[in-house]
Amino acid sequence: MKFGVIGAGQMGGGIAQVAAQSGFDVVVQDMKQEFLDRGKAVIQKSLGKLHEKGKLTDAPETVLGRIHFTTDLNDFADCDLVVEAIVENEQVKNELFRQLGQIVKPEGILASNTSSIPITALAAASGRPQKFIGMHFMNPVPLMGLVEVIRGYQTSDETTQMVTETAEKMGKTPLACNDFPGFVSNRILMPMLNEAIQCVMEGVAEPEAIDGIMKLGMNHPMGPLTLADFIGLDTCLAIMEVLHRGLGDDKYRPSPLLRKMVQAGLLGRKSGEGFYKY
């Protein structure tokens, strides 16, 4: 099985790592060598941690040796499955899938790790809607058990079965849902994070108190503001906008504070500052 991943950011790197841990030959593409180098360093660190704890079957170098890093999209031509994990922007993803539909062999399956963008629209852009699906991993990919599998309007049963089996081979639990804005995971999670941000804006409590209340009071592993910083505030805003536009209900309106922080370049952990400093 040849497994392609587009984007060497926090999600793409994690997906490539887990695919390689599962024995697949992996190709990872990003636009610049520096993004690939950064992604590779994150994978190395994660593999080192897992090895220390006895959670890797193969040596870290063996796993890393299965991953080919490239800036050339043509390297996906002979992939059986390509998972896209680039920026959460419908136009940018559409353009990428338009190109990929012409590069990847006709029997290859294309998947998006999008958090919220309609799978059916991306499938149409790819020109192979029966062989297109949402394969939504959770962050951090090496530690989280779920893959949300989202069928587009024309996704075939064969495509769904292949992607479900692949997720299982990667040690994940695939759960199916239909193509609605934000699917299940982010339709439920993101309004909670947005509400926590609104609580900061209205002065209901300090960020530490909001996170502490949700951690100690609800047994959440991370408080909502820590989690928003971890996901990336730009990604959180993009998801809220898809929910707001797609469902047409003002209860999904992005918090003005979230919008302002993204405008200021405070994107959370990845930019060094969000609700907290890193």
Ligand X SMILES: NC(=O)C1=CN([C@@H]2O[C@H](COP(=O)(O)OP(=O)(O)OC[C@H]3O[C@@H](n4cnc5c(N)ncnc54)[C@H](OP(=O)(O)O)[C@@H]3O)[C@@H](O)[C@H]2O)C=CC1
Ligand Y SMILES: CC(=O)CC(=O)SCCNC(=O)CCNC(=O)[C@H](O)C(C)(C)COP(=O)(O)OP(=O)(O)OC[C@H]1O[C@@H](n2cnc3c(N)ncnc32)[C@H](O)[C@@H]1OP(=O)(O)O
Query: Annotated binding site for NAD(+), which residues?
Result: 7-12, 30, 88, 93, 115, 139, 270
120 binds ligand X, rule: CB under 6 A:
no
Q: Which residues in 197-232 are b (16+ Cβ under 10 Å) and which e?
A: bbbbeeeeeebeebbebbeeeeeeeebbbbbbbbbb
Note if 126 is an active site residue: no
Task: Give the x-and-dash track for 27-46 against ligand Y (CB under 6 A).
Answer: -------------------x
Of 59 and 87, nearer to ligand X (C-beta) is: 87
| Catalytically annotated residue among 112, 126, 148, 194 | 148
Site for ligand X in 207-236 (CB under 6 A): 231-232, 235
Count the Cβ atoms, other than its own, within 10 Å of residue 78.
12
Note whether 50 binds ligand Y by CB under 6 A.
yes
Q: Which residue is nearest to ligand X (CB)?
A: 9
In this chain, which of 86, 122, 167, 170 binds ligand X, going by CB under 6 A? 86
Q: Which is nearer to ligand Y, 59 or 222 (CB)?
A: 222
Q: Which residues contact 263 (CB under 8 A, 6 or more apart)?
A: none
Determine if 115 is a binding residue for ligand X (CB under 6 A): yes
Interface with ligand X: number of residues (CB under 6 A): 24
Question: Of the two residues 11 and 125, which places its CB atom closer to ligand X in the complex?
Answer: 11
115 in active site:
yes
Candidate list 1, 77, 144, 184; residue touching ligand Y; CB under 6 A: 144
Catalytic residue from among 112, 186, 194, 255 = 186
Residue 227 interacting entry, from ligand Y, ligand X, none, C-beta within 5 to 8 Å by type: ligand Y
Q: Which residues are documented as binding site for CoA?
A: 46, 53, 115
The span from the CA of 274 to the CA of 278, in Å, is 8
Residues designated catalytic? 115, 136, 148, 186
Site residues, ligand Y (CB under 6 A): 46, 49-50, 115, 138-140, 142-144, 185-186, 189, 221-222, 227, 231
